[in-house]
Amino acid sequence: MSSFMTSPKFLFTSESVSEGHPDKLCDQISDAVLDAIYAQDPYGRVACECAATTGLILVAGEVTTTCNVDIQAVVRNTVRDIGYTCSEYGFDHLTCGVITSINEQSPDIALGVDRAQEAKAGEMTEEDIEVIGAGDQGMMFGFACNETPELMPLPIMMAHNLARRLAQVRKECLLPYLRPDGKTQVTIEYHFGRPVRVDSIVIAAQHDADVSQQQIQDDIIEHVIKPIVAPDMLDKDTRYYINSTGRFVVGGPMSDTGLTGRKIIVDTYGGMVPHGGGAFSGKDPTKVDRSGAYAARWVAKNIVAAGLAERCQIEIAYTIGVASPVSLNIETFGTGRVPDSKIEQLVREVFDLRPGAIIRDLRLRRPIYRATAAYGHFGRDDIDAPWEETNRAAKLRAAAGI
């Protein structure tokens, strides 16, 4: 059992970023390109990366598709929707340059993805599932716990909700002086694995030049923190750090180069559990970095929803060109109602974790990805996220005999 579950006092911190953060801007562009292709060609192969700096966006990657997509328009529409619409911000959708460098997927990679090793050996059939192999080697982690209704860790959920609220008060003109860039961070105090209070909240919010630091602090506490954080989680010792440098006017790609895939801990569980080797955004679901991680979350969430454990971490590993996982590991941190080895056996019986089956069962050949690219891929009930469904919990519970 981890020290987290046995410690009488334990502080844990997670961060999130707004949709206008330069890295998240790039994630959303990459996934917007994927969605645009999937809207026309659900069997397209997409690995789309984006970089953004002052006045410039570079879109590069490997794409194999039967459709034509206006990438320039996709990029500019995404930048506009995020809120970079004014040249005063130092970056906007009308004047930024857009450079593209797109090639087809490597034929050596396609060789393993198009037809899995098991299919070549006669162990899989076309009638069984799509006979694709994993698009790469690697390990993916999934997690769920009963700290929140979403079965997610509280620190990352609170950080996401604060970041989303920053965007909401800006877009609804409740705090019209805010600009798109921003970050949040939350430290939660745990007692024996249970969250009991908020120890500190950090918010950095980009703003117009003529707004005082005092007004920003007062407004953020009143209109961002109070609507999100339950009053009983705050006390006289809770610390607030709001724009702690005293000024945040220059932001977005003008202040910091953005890059797809650089906020992978924000995308997942806020550092509560390990992360696999790859990012998600811009990748079609034949890439197990994405689909394998989604499946791992789906499995872990169903295990907790079924009451088999209070906390569950799952690791799945693949090798390129092979459909079946090369390893599967379950860890319940001493909270399981049945042994972890038994849960692993149940997972193998109830879930098919080959990439083609994951794509089929989670309905992943659809343009659903841009919405995942800000405020986390997990714990979401505001977007189309089939990996959040608990549709196998009853079967797990029955199979476990509890």
Give 49-59 pLDDT, tens digit per residue: 999 999 999 99
Tokens encoding 374 = 């800000």
Specify the 3-state DSSP secondary structure of 90. Answer: coil
Single-letter code of the amino acid located at 334: G
Give 123-169 pLDDT, tens digit per residue: 545 454 556 767 678 899 999 999 999 999 999 999 999 999 999 99
User: What pLDDT was estimated at residue 113?
Assistant: 55
User: What pLDDT was estimated at residue 300?
Assistant: 98
Could you give the C-alpha distances from 67 to 34, 42, 295, in angstroms and in order? Answer: 12, 10, 28
10-residue mean pLDDT profile of the chain (402 residues): values are 77 97 98 97 94 96 92 96 90 93 66 49 51 79 97 98 97 96 97 95 96 96 97 96 92 92 97 91 94 98 98 95 91 95 96 94 97 98 97 96 85
DSSP assignment of 43-59: T-EEEEEEEEETTEEEE
CA distance 273 to 7: 17
**For the whole prediction, is pTM greater than 0.75?**
yes
User: What pLDDT was estimated at residue 111?
Assistant: 46
| Side-chain-facing half-sphere of 316: CA atoms under 13 Å | 31
User: What pLDDT was estimated at residue 114?
Assistant: 54
Strands (E), 80-125: 97-103
User: What pLDDT was estimated at residue 80?
Assistant: 97
Tokens encoding 68 = 């034509």
**Considering Cα of 329, then 334, then 340, then 343, what sign does the dihedral take?**
negative
Give 197-248 pLDDT, tens digit per residue: 999 999 999 999 999 999 999 999 999 999 999 999 999 999 999 999 999 9
